[in-house]
Amino acid sequence: ANAAGEIAVSSEQKVYDVVLKQAALVKRQLRPLEKPDLVVPGTPLNEAYDRCGEVCAEYAKTFYLGTLLMTPERRRAIWAIYVWCRRTDELVDGPNASHITPTALDRWQARLEDLFAGRPYDMFDGALSDTVSRFPVDIQPFKDMIEGMRMDLVKSRYKNFDELYLYCYYVAGTVGLMSVPVMGIAPDSQSTTESVYDAALALGIANQLTNILRDVGEDASRGRIYLPQDELAQAGLTDEDIFAGKVTDKWRSFMKSQIKRARMFFQKAEKGVMELDQASRWPVWASLLLYRQILDAIEANDYNNFTKRAYVGKAKKIMALPVAYTKSLM
């Protein structure tokens, strides 16, 4: 309870409430809105989807290859979601990020609401607008991702993991909730719809935690520290230690605990991948395997994520594809 006597709700409970809402929508196989025939400004709908595929192929090659096994309708829908997420992320991380204001994000959200109502602004909006009319995709995770962008404009510290978890949900966990209705759940799955969504959420959280651990030095150069302040203090570390960028025994010990947590979320995510429709599993497995290897690379760099960037080499990426494919068939 807080000082006002109200019951405090954890970030995990807030997020799980969204999970339950999305799962209920899928179980009822509802579409958010019944829309008239869609008109995409200046571009035939097929061309809009093809352009989404080109963007996905350019910026997420491994994931794109995995989508080619999906049914045409599903892979086009995933491309449309990917492009919207990328465009949203670039608002605060792209070349014009320094000019982005809360008002600009408000306009982006209004545009999102328009495309969900069947009023797309451009061809990319048109592809997503068509997608959300065909699949039981709800607008809330999209709004929540924009909320994560708002946090990046005003917040550069996180006092504990509860705060960081909510941020990770906003900017990455939301992607899982957007994608499950499109990817589909296997007809013979014995798991509950809620548990599949929860696993998809866990993969997004794991991926974002991995991003954070990989980019500690890069974020520090911009004055940002996406690490739980209370856990840093418990490890005997301060913001000044992060900015100094020295790998010490205290830092190694701290990083080991952070990597352990990220791997726990990857493990939770694994349980849900096999419950997806078989044709949709390959890109998810590929993403999971490759991102998890980034944690291995941080360890291989002796936990120096200040001046060395942990990455997965091209050879390892290529090797991961058949492994992911084999797992998708199991």
* Residue 61 or residue 157, greater confidence: 157
Q: Which domain holds residue 21?
A: 11-29+37-329
Domain membership of residue 276 (yes or no) is: yes
How many Cβ atoms are within 10 Å of 277's Cβ, its own excluded? 17
Q: How confident is the model at residue 5 (pLDDT cuts 50, 70, 90)?
A: very low
Q: Is 29 left (phi over 0), alpha (psi -120 to 50) or beta?
A: left
- Sign, CA dihedral 103-109-113-116, equals positive
4 within domain boundaries: no
Q: What is the pLDDT of residues 136-167, one digit of tens each?
A: 999 999 999 999 999 999 999 999 999 999 99
Residue 6 lies in a domain: no
Mean pLDDT, to the nearest integer, of 272-297?
92
Percent of the chain exceeding pLDDT 90 equals 71
**CATH code for the domain in which residue 158 is found:** 1.10.600.10
SS3 at position 158: strand
Q: Quick count: other Cβ atoms within 10 Å of Cβ 122?
A: 14
User: Burial level of 4, CB count in 10 A (0-12/13-18/19+)?
Assistant: exposed
Would 2 be classed as within a structural domain?
A: no
Q: Which helix (H) or strand (E) holds 181?
A: helix 174-183
pLDDT reported for residue 242: 97
| CB crowding 187-208: b at 16 or more within 10 Å, else e | eebeeebbbbbbbbbbbbbbbb
Query: 10 Å Cβ neighbour count for 134?
Result: 15
Strand partners, 228: 158
Q: What are the structure tokens assigned to 103, written together?
A: 């008002």
The model's pTM: 0.90
* Residue 242 domain-assigned (yes or no): yes
Is it the case that residue 37 has pLDDT exceeding 90?
A: no
| CA-to-CA separations, 151 to 25, 105, 139, 164, 208, in angstroms, rounded | 28, 11, 19, 11, 15
Residues 6+ apart with CB under 8 A from 20: 194
Count of structural domains within the chain: 1
The pLDDT value given to residue 1: 46
Taking a C-beta distance cutoff of 8 angstroms, is the pair 283, 71 a contact? no
* Alpha-carbon gap, residue 49 to 37, rounded angstroms: 16
Domain membership flag for residue 1? no
Residue 11 has a pLDDT of 84
Q: Is residue 75 part of a domain?
A: yes
Q: Is residue 321 part of a domain?
A: yes
The H or E element containing residue 17 is helix 11-27
| Per-residue pLDDT tens over the stretch 225-242 | 999 999 999 999 999 999
CA distances (Å), origin 189, targets 27, 64, 119, 157, 196? 13, 25, 36, 41, 10
Cβ within 8 Å of residue 30, ≥6 positions away: 136
Is there a contact between 147 and 173 (Cβ–Cβ < 8 Å)? Answer: no
pLDDT confidence tier of residue 317, bands split at 50, 70 and 90: confident
